Structure 1
């Protein structure tokens, strides 16, 4: 493939995640060279213990089901029974005490019973039936005890355990991206956002979050709330103050950010809280999937619960992108329910018709219950909800984190990611960024800053005039075998490349740094030849 600027033009409007496939083709084009894909942020680590517990729970559930029709030899089982289930479970644990995952299950059920005060037999019945997938998700929004456990985990991680749990409700669904899709669809269907409304977006940001509001489905006007690289990727006051504009209906933000991977500082959170006091009608949607990787993390939901929809996915922290596990969290008293109550009567009548099959009191139907119905085009609401085996794996992930009192798993992941980042920049030959509140899950390689540190300002200017920034990543892929994603695809204003630090091993990140350093050196040699300079650049 040619990597001239003209050849690149046809890919200019692709999402970075689609562009990645073209870069991979280039990077893997030479048989004698290994391709290093630091593009998509799918982690190469995962939590093993809650998975072992999941499979052992499945064995117990299958055996317990078989008791009901044990007289039949054809492999027919029945629905697990509540009576005696705790004793049968304890017997199963005792018979398999040396099997991986059994000790975890014992501790998990103990935590539910002894720490959360939930009835062990009812919880066991829920997860035993759930892992068998023998009934529709009931309630459709989320299984009863699963919601209580996951809520406890979520508020522990997102709010430091400072919020009363009974005021938060959850909707379990197929990951964070499904959450955003469902939220925007229900906001539109319920007249809470309309074509022409302004949607503020914290930038840089995960690319689809820029693309969604622009779709014909929504036709929203985007207002960029730009984080400052000079301020450690925090949002300056003058940027956040754009939210004071009453025509801005919604603020969508990823916290910690993607790709800068930095959490909003306490000062930034306080500023947002001040703005919400002046804009009590502002709707905030915060995607906090990377929050568990940040030190001292607090969600916007913790400080502005009445205005905020919290989206969380289990995908990155537990290495479970294939499981598609996420939740939407909302406060019992919230601005969206207030906005529904304030709609014009004519719009209320239309919504009465839309949701009439669900309840005789449509106007009392909370917003959080509407995406559940909308996800099944309302008429199929009785089949809504995340599959019960998925919810069981979700609750086991949550319990795994909750019973890890020393945060051993969390600290191990933090060390792993930080070492990878240090290895990349060490072999690149420049200092690694050290932004306060960084998760180190991604790194933004500032191309101008890197070559300036390596060879000086004059060379950096020369390189940027000789090479179209849009082709740099194609050349990097073709010449070094390294796949990075373009920063401008994430609304980063400076020439930069995003590298995921989650999906390769430490020596491979060192190899990426060395390959980029080698490529920069080759361009510097051309620069010296053109300028007639010696090896010292004189």
Structure 2
């Protein structure tokens, strides 16, 4: 039987033609969301006639949990900063002047001593901790925080403010589980979130002739769908080689897939670890295999890794730890602290890295071309490190002096880092893990016992993939699962879920995951909502099964 909606009962038709669905299958899942939202909104209006009902959009990755104490402490720094700025001004409370550095630490201490709140105490403790552990001079550190909170001056230096860098460096080393075995230092560039960091990275690699049109990039899939789309952009014209993780191996990389990296024409290994959408981190065994391959056969391979979900995983292992020389590491504070709107990201690069070496090994004509590009801001352009070229390229070089993440963003980034470092028992982390654990249990509550979610210390439960064919097989048997696959398009189920149940899930295929998988975010809805989603999926599957029984040959 052809995969066509026209020969099925209206109850199973998703109000789209077969041809339309085929077209939608090629769209980004975030583009499909626009269609799903319209259908879900109409469904919610209809369902509300039977009682109040809302759209349940589990397609969004934006968390509904967030850190509050750091926001309060940041607000106190802003208030303190503006008050001392006002003190140097004439009798006009709308005008202030940039504060003086000398004695500013004592002034803040006096200000906070008058405040008995929990957030004021946190701020005092955080400042003392930073000064004691990172060799910070009090006036230098507090002036940097105050000036940053005011946002009255350009970031200087543009990559990241120097005292804040020490704190962020310590935080990243803790999150990424970096050992003390590395003799060198890591350079950091603070960016407007992880996505901007990824754009900056690809752009600078292109500008510095490390990647060129026609070069191969190995992408570990499934992966965040916009990352798939970057390599396909016209300005890069890269050839994407997929390194497919195995669902049967709980989303680890099989040996035969890793062997693809032996191809010397592959310039970059591109991955998210822990993954989006599967929420699984690579095991130490997999990390070690990649590291061994790089050390023995692919010493020039550049690894570009997004580690935004590392904070959610108990047993996390990073490539930046075992092969720092080859790894360009991107991290974002957005999900863990609920600061997606703040846009807080970093690029971390080891000082002795393969990218700087490859730039240095360019032939004379390319070196001369690059020297011309960067000579407008340096008399020694060849000496500019790649991490600094990233910042310069982010402002098209000519405007590099205005580059860098805004200072207020860097201030709160510093406070968030200190909060996590000082939370030695990881009470905040345990709270989030508890929330996600309850939500995923609710989501799978209506499913048969034989179909459960992945468990283990390398799972974050921030997202989950529900394979509808596997669920169908477990509940109704293999014949029904095969019938479903052979007679319907994978988008049928997702569109019907929105159009009839007002529930939005994203297609796993859009992340290069299993074609019949749904990506569900466990981060953005109320815990009890996942009970509703669970039952809706089962009810919808039952409708398909009823149709199957009535129409099977």
- Taking structure 1 as the reference length, the TM-score comes to 0.96
What is the CA–CA distance in structure 2 between the aligned matches of 1:316 and 1:29, rounded to whole Å?
30
C-alpha deviations, 1:380-418, integer Å up to 9, x for none? 111101100011111111111011010000111111112
What is the CA–CA distance in structure 2 between the aligned matches of 1:162 and 1:228, rounded to whole Å?
33
What residue is the counterpart of 2:339 in the other structure? Answer: 320
1:484 partnered with 2:517: no
Q: For 1:342-353, what aligned pairs fall within 5 Å after superposition?
A: 342-353=361-372
Question: Which residue, out of 261, 279, 286, partners 2:298?
Answer: 279
- CA deviation after TM superposition for structure 1 residue 165, in Å: 8.6
- CA deviation after TM superposition for structure 1 residue 12, in Å: 3.0
What residue is the counterpart of 2:228 in the other structure? Answer: 210
What residue is the counterpart of 1:501 in the other structure? Answer: 522
Q: For 1:64-143, what aligned pairs fall within 5 Å after superposition?
A: 64-69=84-89, 71-98=90-117, 100-143=118-161
1:468 partnered with 2:489: yes
What residue is the counterpart of 2:475 in the other structure? Answer: 454
What is the CA–CA distance in structure 2 between the aligned matches of 1:245 and 1:435, rounded to whole Å?
34
What residue is the counterpart of 1:20 in the other structure? Answer: 33
5+ residue gaps in structure 1?
533-538
What is the CA–CA distance in structure 2 between the aligned matches of 1:381 and 1:369, rounded to whole Å?
10
C-alpha deviations, 1:422-470, integer Å up to 9, x for none? 1100123453222441110100001111111111111111222232113
Question: Which residue, out of 235, 250, 262, partners 1:244?
Answer: 262
Farther off after superposition, 244-253 or 162-171: 162-171
- CA deviation after TM superposition for structure 1 residue 476, in Å: 1.4
What is the CA–CA distance in structure 2 between the aligned matches of 1:260 and 1:184, rounded to whole Å?
24
1:35 partnered with 2:48: no
Tell me the C-alpha RMSD between the 2 structures.
1.5
What is the CA–CA distance in structure 1 between the aligned matches of 2:435 and 2:206, rounded to whole Å?
41
What is the CA–CA distance in structure 2 between the aligned matches of 1:56 and 1:450, rounded to whole Å?
51
5+ residue gaps in structure 2?
1-13
Question: Which residue, out of 450, 459, 462, partners 1:441?
Answer: 462
C-alpha deviations, 1:155-190, integer Å up to 9, x for none? 111024535596101000100000110000011111
Q: Secondary structure at the match of 1:427?
A: coil
Aligned 8 A contact 2:184 2:350 in 1: no
Change (3 A) 1:309 1:339: same
Q: Secondary structure at the match of 1:224?
A: strand
- CA deviation after TM superposition for structure 1 residue 257, in Å: 0.7
Farther off after superposition, 27-36 or 444-453: 27-36
What residue is the counterpart of 1:193 in the other structure? Answer: 211
What is the CA–CA distance in structure 2 between the aligned matches of 1:89 and 1:427, rounded to whole Å?
55
Q: For 1:330-479, what aligned pairs fall within 5 Å after superposition?
A: 330-430=349-449, 431-436=451-456, 437-479=458-500
Q: How many residues align?
A: 530
- CA deviation after TM superposition for structure 1 residue 247, in Å: 0.4
What is the CA–CA distance in structure 2 between the aligned matches of 1:394 and 1:407, rounded to whole Å?
18
1:46 partnered with 2:66: yes
Aligned 8 A contact 1:427 1:511 in 2: no
Change (3 A) 1:163 1:22: farther
- CA deviation after TM superposition for structure 1 residue 527, in Å: 2.2
- CA deviation after TM superposition for structure 1 residue 529, in Å: 2.7
Q: Secondary structure at the match of 1:259?
A: coil
What residue is the counterpart of 2:83 in the other structure? Answer: 63
Q: Secondary structure at the match of 2:248?
A: helix
Dislocated runs of 4+, deviation >4 Å: 163-166
Aligned 8 A contact 2:184 2:352 in 1: no
